[in-house]
């Protein structure tokens, strides 16, 4: 099975990576200067409380506090979640007196758009948002045949330190609030409705909106568990939220095992994705630092348990990096570990690495990618190579990094 068990010394050959600046934040390092994992979100001013942070009952109570009957909450919900507006002037079904105060209390502004980039075809749009405290986050909107996917951020920065990921190099600035996460969807829907997402067929669709959400932007969603869950509840709530299908929402994680097990018990059948990237602990310890805490087998057991509880087929993400994790023997070992946990519960999504600035790593060669995929498929594991979108606007996986330098370089192609 093993053609070549030797593995490169990843860290010793590593070139210094570009470290984007995060406002008001300094990365913590150990004695050897290696960045430390961060779980706690640094203390910063809280984002303003917003309707989308509250349960439907809390919204009614808040409206009552503002001196209005509770049913006004449902009207504001409708404006925000289905008409994508937070402009009181458009809410003519609300009484003029007190309307401004009501809207200011429930829908404070959360995201300021600082940059918008789009591909030539216009079917991929990257947004750069500034949060109330100056923290920067990004979302990427992609049109595919029959679906529209939004890649959302769940944290400003990320504390998980994966060396091949641009966000991982920047460290964690702070957790995003549920409403800040949801606002990315509202703003994307507004853009789609206003005709801002190019349609290759050239046909207008008034009722189009985001159909799929992937938590694959900045941040580790399960390290911001409660807020991500609240955001998912709002996205899926048919009566008081956006009424999206939970199946169309993918939560992707480095493998925080206790949180995976908790997610399985929530009774919300979101799609679950595990960023594995290596089937052996020796290499995964280097690529995904959290592997020092929860090993490959523990993460895979938790993924299998997710399938058992929810009946939802799990995705395994695997960025193919030349001569690092793309060996045939690793494809075989991955297949063996997945098959050892049963059949039909999992599929694998390899994706060619998007090199981040300054990185020594490159994507695997095409024949090597194909061989990796073939071996998994032959072993009975459904495997499809993922397409990378939006590279030219730095909107592809692992490229999301919001520096002023980037923003300036992008100025020329800015669409906003």
Catalytic residues: 138, 397
The three-state secondary structure class of 201 is coil
Q: How many CA atoms lie within 13 A of 23 on its CB side?
A: 13
Q: Which is nearer to ligand SAH, 111 or 396 (CB)?
A: 396
In the complex, what is the shortest distance from the CB of residue 251 to ligand SAH, in angstroms, rounded to a whole number? 9
Give the Cα separation of 388 and 140 in Å (integer): 12
Nearer to ligand SAH, 86 or 250 (CB): 250
Looking at the Cβ atoms of 260 and 353, the one nearer to ligand SAH is 353
Which CB atom, from 51 or from 373, has the smaller least distance to ligand SAH?
A: 373
Report the residue number, 110 or 319, with the smaller CB distance to ligand SAH: 319
Rounded CA-CA distance 321/218 in Å is: 21
Euclidean distance between CA atoms 7 and 163, whole angstroms: 16
Rounded Cα distance, 54 and 212, in Å: 23
Closest to ligand SAH by CB, 177 or 356:
356
Least distance between ligand SAH and beta carbon 216 (Å): 3
> Least separation, in Å, of the C-beta of 169 and ligand SAH?
10
Concatenate the DSSP letters of all residues of 67-106 into one string.
TS-TTHHHHHHHHHHHS----GGG-TTS-STTHHHHHHHH
C-alpha R_g of the chain:
22
Smallest distance, ligand SAH to C-beta of residue 165, A: 3
Minimal distance, residue 356 CB to ligand SAH, in Å? 5
Alpha-carbon distance values, 158 to 198, 218, 272, 400, 403 (Å): 31, 7, 19, 11, 15
Question: Which residue is at the shortest CB distance from ligand SAH?
Answer: 398
Shortest separation between residue 202's beta carbon and ligand SAH, angstroms: 31
In the sheet with 314-320, reading across from the earlier edge strand, the strands are 112-118, 124-130, 136-144, 147-151, 212-215, 249-253, 271-275, 314-320, 346-352
Kindly tell me the sign of the dihedral angle through the C-alpha atoms of 228, 224, 253, 269: negative
Minimum CB separation of residue 360 from ligand SAH in Å reads 12
- Note the residues at the interface with ligand SAH (CB under 6 A): 160, 162, 164-165, 216, 220, 252-254, 275, 317, 319, 351, 353-354, 356, 397-398
Bridge partner list, 316: 274, 348
DSSP assignment string, 148-185: EEEE--SEEE-SS--TT-TGGGT-EEEEPPHHHHHHHH
Cβ-contact 390, 216 below 8 angstroms: no
* Cβ nearer to ligand SAH, comparing 212 with 253: 253
């Amino acid at each position: 099975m093993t053609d070549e068990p030797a593995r490169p010394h990843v860290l010793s050959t590593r070139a210094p990576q570009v470290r984007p600046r995060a406002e008001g934040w300094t990365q913590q390092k150990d004695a050897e200067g290696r960045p430390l994992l961060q779980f706690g979100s640094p203390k910063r001013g809280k984002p303003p409380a917003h309707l989308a942070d509250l349960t439907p009952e809390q919204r009614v109570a808040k409206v009552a506090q503002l001196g209005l009957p509770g049913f006004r909450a449902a009207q504001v919900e409708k404006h925000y979640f289905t008409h994508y507006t937070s402009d009181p002037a458009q809410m003519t079904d609300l009484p003029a007196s007190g309307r401004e105060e009501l809207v200011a209390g429930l829908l404070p502004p959360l995201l300021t758009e600082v940059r918008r980039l789009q591909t030539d075809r216009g079917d991929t749009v990257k947004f750069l948002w500034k949060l109330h405290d100056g923290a920067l986050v990004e979302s990427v909107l992609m049109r595919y045949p029959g679906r529209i996917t939004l890649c959302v951020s769940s944290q400003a920065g990320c504390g998980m330190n994966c060396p091949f990921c641009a966000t991982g190099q920047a460290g964690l600035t702070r957790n995003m609030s549920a409403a800040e996460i949801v606002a990315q969807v509202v703003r994307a829907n507004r853009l789609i409705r206003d005709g801002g997402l190019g349609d290759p067929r050239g046909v207008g669709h008034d009722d189009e909106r985001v159909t799929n959400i992937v938590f694959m932007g900045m941040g580790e969603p399960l390290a911001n568990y409660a807020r991500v869950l609240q955001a998912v509840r709002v996205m899926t709530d048919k009566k008081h939220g956006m009424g999206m299908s939970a199946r169309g929402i993918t939560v992707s994680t480095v493998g925080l095992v206790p949180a995976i097990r908790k997610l399985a018990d929530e009774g919300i059948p979101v799609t679950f994705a595990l960023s594995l990237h290596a089937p052996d602990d020796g290499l995964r310890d280097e690529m995904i630092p959290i592997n020092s805490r929860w090993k490959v087998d523990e993460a895979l057991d938790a993924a299998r348990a997710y399938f058992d509880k929810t009946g939802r087929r799990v995705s395994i993400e695997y960025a193919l990096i030349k001569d690092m994790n793309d060996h045939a023997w690793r494809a075989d070992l991955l297949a063996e570990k997945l098959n050892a946990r049963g059949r039909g519960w999992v599929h694998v999504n390899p994706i060619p690495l998007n090199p981040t600035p300054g990185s020594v790593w490159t994507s695997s060669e095409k024949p090597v990618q194909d061989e990796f995929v073939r071996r998994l498929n032959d072993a009975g594991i459904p495997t499809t190579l993922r397409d990378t979108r939006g590279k030219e606007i730095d909107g592809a996986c692992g490229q999301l990094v919001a520096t002023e330098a980037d923003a300036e370089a992008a100025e020329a192609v800015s669409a906003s």
